[in-house]
Amino acid sequence: MQIPIYNPKPQYEALRGELEQAATDLLASGAYVLGPTVERFEASVAEHLGCRHAIGVNSGTDALLIALAAAGVEPGDEVVTSPFTFFASAEVISLAGATPVFADIDPHTFNVTAQTLESACTSRTKALLPVHIFGQGPDMAEVNALAERRGLKVVEDVAQAFGARQGGQRLGTIGDLGAHSFYPTKNLGGFGDGGMITTNDDALAEQCRLLRLHGQVRRDYHTQIGYNSRLDAMQAALLQVKLPHVDAWNRQRQEIAALYDRQLTDLPGLRTPQVAPHGDHIYHQYTVRISGGHRDRVKESLQAAGIGCMVYYSVPVHHQPVYAHLNAHCPVAEHACCEVLSLPMWPYMGEERAEQVAAAVRQALAS
Ligand SMILES: Cc1ncc(COP(=O)(O)O)c(C=O)c1O
């Protein structure tokens, strides 16, 4: 049995009738960009996450960029982020005209910490951009305390953690702004690109709404340079159908993770992912560490056995050629890039497949 690392099709199959009806209704509505369908979805996301505002944009990358711009990040500023993330988390800082500064990660959770963020701050730091990597975040109470001490804005990259909680709050609603992605592989995945900004701050929400629509206050009246970054109504209509199921899907991910944990803990040379005490892990990825230089060999033997697996991330962002001139050093992230391997993880995957994956990992490690 081939097992892909991710498979969005069972979610479609489970909700097929409702999704197809929503698509047909939207086609008939004639309103394809923003409009009532997007407004309804924005209100539903705000309610689901427990925040005042949700602003639909056309990708997670744009959500980050517009959030940074709304937070007042501009040329000459520095924004501190993680080196162990998808490139977009840092790219948006450069697109805003600022300079990314990289804070090293905790080796157990792969997240930045308030301490590593603080040691990367300088007098030019304007904002912190923690990335909630693989489905869990750093301790946001500590991150917020740091931001308050230094007068910084906090933009949470929630692309990989839609719905995860810390205490009574959902990630993306704890800092000043949260940036979510609805890319099809995400925990709440659409059928194309899409993104959302969340905030409890009325003024920041207003600024994000302006920026996503060419800085237009009213028709033919532009007070600033903005973007064309609107959520498609088709994505909103389809995501509206999926939203009520995302918590249950995240619980399914946690069940698969618990099975992997039981079957893979204590294997020599392999470390299962650790859940930080301060919040949920919703396993956007289930990522193990394989030491001793064996990671690539294990990856190849899993692939030969038909088990999908991926290295997220093989190169830390500060080692990307475009950022080489920054001369950043993040040894923990660099080491993680040599050891990490993400295993299949998707709702409806089921125990039988998870057991097959775990057996293949054990076999690959032993050989
Ligand atoms: C951590 C992180 N940040 C940002 C993004 C960008 O999201 P999108 O692909 O929707 O632009 C992604 C998605 O790949 C991501 O994983």
Q: pLDDT for 224-268, tens place per residue?
A: 999 999 999 999 999 999 999 999 999 999 999 999 999 999 899
Which residue, among 24, 95, 39, 30, has the nearest Cα to 66 in the 3D structure?
95
1 vs 313: which has the higher pLDDT: 313
pLDDT band at 42 (very low <50, low <70, confident <90, very high): very high
Encoded amino acid at 139, one letter: D
Q: Which parts of 8-71 fold into alpha helices (H)?
A: 9-14, 16-29, 35-49, 60-70
Q: What is the pLDDT of residue 131?
A: 98
Joined tokens for residue 98 = 């600022």
Angle of helix 202-212 relative to helix 60-70, nearest 10 degrees, comes to: 120
Q: With bands split at pLDDT 50, 70 and 90, how would you rate the model's confidence at 177?
A: very high
Distance 84 CA to ligand 1 centre (A): 13
Percent of the chain predicted with pLDDT > 90: 99
**The pLDDT of residue 1:** 79
Query: Which residue shows structure tokens 């500590």?
Result: 142
147 lines ligand 1 (CB under 6 A): no
Residue 226, CA atoms < 13 Å, CB-side half-sphere: 23
- pLDDT band with cut points at 50, 70 and 90 for residue 154: very high
The pLDDT value given to residue 261: 98
Residues of the chain with CATH 3.90.1150.10: 245-366
User: What percentage of the chain exceeds 70 in pLDDT?
Assistant: 100
Alpha helices in 154-232 (DSSP H): 202-212
Pick the CATH number of 9-244 from 3.40.50.2300, 1.10.150.300, 3.40.50.970, 3.40.640.10: 3.40.640.10
Q: Which CATH superfamily is domain 245-366 in?
A: Aspartate Aminotransferase, domain 1 (3.90.1150.10)
> What residue spans in the chain does CATH classification 3.40.640.10 cover?
9-244
State if residue 250 touches ligand 1 by the CB under 6 angstroms criterion.
no
Beta strands in the chain (DSSP E): 53-57, 78-81, 99-102, 125-129, 153-157, 165-166, 169-170, 177-181, 195-199, 216-218, 221-222, 270-271, 286-290, 340-343
For ligand 1, the distance from its centroid to the CA atom of residue 182, given in whole angstroms, is 9
Residue 367's pLDDT is 85
Mutate which of 57, 62, 181 to test ligand 1's pocket (most atoms within 8 Å of Cβ)? 181
Residue 325 to residue 348: CA distance in whole angstroms: 44
Q: How far is the CA of 244 from the centre of ligand 1 (A)?
A: 22
Phi-psi region of 311 (alpha: psi -120 to 50; beta: other; left: phi over 0): beta
pLDDT at residue number 284: 98
Q: Which of 176, 153, 130 is nearest to 278 (CA)?
A: 130
**pLDDT of 171:** 98
Q: Which two structure tokens, joined as six digits, stand for 284?
A: 């956007």
CA of 319 to the centre of ligand 1 (A): 19
